[in-house]
Amino acid sequence: MDKNTDKQAREILESNDKGGFTVPTGGLYPYQWNWDSVFVALGFATFDESRAVKEIETLFEAQWEDGFLPHIVFRRDDPDYFPGPSFWKAGAGIPSSGITQPPVAASVISALWSSIADAGIRDRLAALFPKLLAWHRWFLEYRVPAEAGAVVITHPWESGRDNSPEWDAPASSIDVSNIKPYTRRDLKHAEAHMRPTKEDYDRYIALVEFGRRTGWDHAVIANEGPFRVADVGMTMILLRATRDLLDLAHKLGHSDVIHELKSHRARLEQGADYLWDDSANTYCSRDTITGRHSGFVTNASFLYAYGGVGSAGQRAHMAEHWNRISARAEYMLPSHDPDDSHFDHMRYWRGPIWMVVNYMLAKGFEEQGMAEWNARIAADSERLIREHGFNEAFSPVTGSGTGGSGFSWTAAMWLAWCGNEA
Ligand code: GLC
């Protein structure tokens, strides 16, 4: 345990706390982000359990009637961020974005349930169960087509891995000819070589304009949207979250939904197979419009352990990838394959390491008895933060920080995981 670094981590969470919700970092991301907040709750739980639960409660205040939980909650307008609430025009009560993000909430709530003894706080966790269930049902209804069984994203930002090369081919057919002129704000806060390109950004904006034109009708977006990709990260995360929700249902006595959740689980397990690419021998994302796999090995590919899937043969192929990548990378695990030409060690999701993905990877490896991989991920993560600070992400080559600094979820992962592992 490193007292000084622990103190810094707590200070980051406290200074990014805007009163019941935490921003990922000042400047670059001035609102509440969905999966950031959920991971941040794990950090708060190490010193203030009530505040931890509050973070998830405020997030769910923005849940829509159909169960959908938005990726950004806009509690106030900040002219420094684009696209903001007046551009999205979404959310019934609290303004929000119209797309979602990886459903890590059930897993985190289940972890908090196991570690928190206070009866009052446990009651608040139990009260979140129906909301979690509604969100999972939303996914199964709109985003898990029967023929795929995997989770389909309708905007790259839903994946949380915003500009992974996995989205390049599927996004290339998005029509950007009609988008209105706009001004990016992210480049005021981070250097251009770390951020998505203009071409990527035009596509992001075109997809937001498409959703807005439908009035954020989730059925229309799911059936007719120009970008519909079965995402390996989302699929493994929802599969894992489904198992955790099932476990919570047992513990909380919700026997009426056990059967339904087991059928969600079975569908998502089938989805994992849909995402296995026989020619690249890896789990990866797959365009549901063209049927094509990305063929890329990313950090999300290795979430198969967290999702608890993979035959002996598939795991052996993944081990070959691991051995190849770990021999090359100074730090594990790069968000993109260092042997691929798209690899860029400083650019968003095209190489850099994210602590929250490392946390899920380590958890999966640990549970599956893959002790060496778990140890490597935990040690590298600890070293990155200790030597380079609480950055948004880190170069797997040099360790230097990329994107924003003073980052909430990096601080949370230090407190809840890698800072207290070694
Ligand atoms: C970036 C990341 C996304 C994250 C957000 C706020 O958009 O790609 O995963 O939620 O920043 O940290």
Question: How is residue 139 written in tokens?
Answer: 């996914």
Q: Find the CATH number of the domain harbouring 340.
A: 1.50.10.10
Specify the residue with its C-alpha closest to ligand 1, atom 2.
160
| Residue ranges in the chain modelled with pLDDT below 50 | none
Show the ligand 1 pocket: residues with CB < 6 angstroms. 24, 29, 33, 35-36, 160, 162
Between helices 34-44 and 49-60, what is the axis angle to 10°? 170
pLDDT of residue 96: 98
| Tally of domains within the chain | 1
pLDDT of residue 1: 52
Provide the residue type at 171 as one letter. A
- In DSSP notation, 86-122 reads HHH-B-SSS-B-SS-----HHHHHHHHHHH---HHHH
Provide the residue type at 206 as one letter. A
SS3 70: coil
Cα separation, 74 vs 18, whole angstroms: 12
Which atom of ligand 1 is nearest to 392's Cα?
12
Between helices 408-416 and 355-367, what is the axis angle to 10°? 30
Cα separation, 4 vs 181, whole angstroms: 47
Ligand 1 center–CA 160 separation, angstroms:
6
pLDDT tens for residues 131-174?
A: 999 999 999 999 999 999 999 999 999 999 999 999 999 999 99
Cα separation, 301 vs 276, whole angstroms: 9
Beta bridge partners of 286: 230, 293
The domain in which residue 35 lies consists of 3-420
Provide the residue type at 285 as one letter. S
Ligand 1 center–CA 404 separation, angstroms:
10
**Closest listed residue to residue 345, CA positions, set 328, 362, 321, 368:** 328
pLDDT of residue 95: 97
SS3 283: strand
SS3 14: helix
To the nearest 5 percent, what fractions of the chain are helix, strand and coil?
55, 5, 40
Handedness of CA 43, 123, 75, 103 (dihedral sign): positive
- By annotation, the residues acting in catalysis are 162, 392
Burial 207-227 (b: 16+ CB within 10 A, else e): bbbbbeeeebebeebbeebbb
Token look-up 């609290």 returns: 94
Phi, psi of 336 (to 5 degrees): -140, 150
Token look-up 């640990």 returns: 366
pTM for the predicted model, two decimal places: 0.98
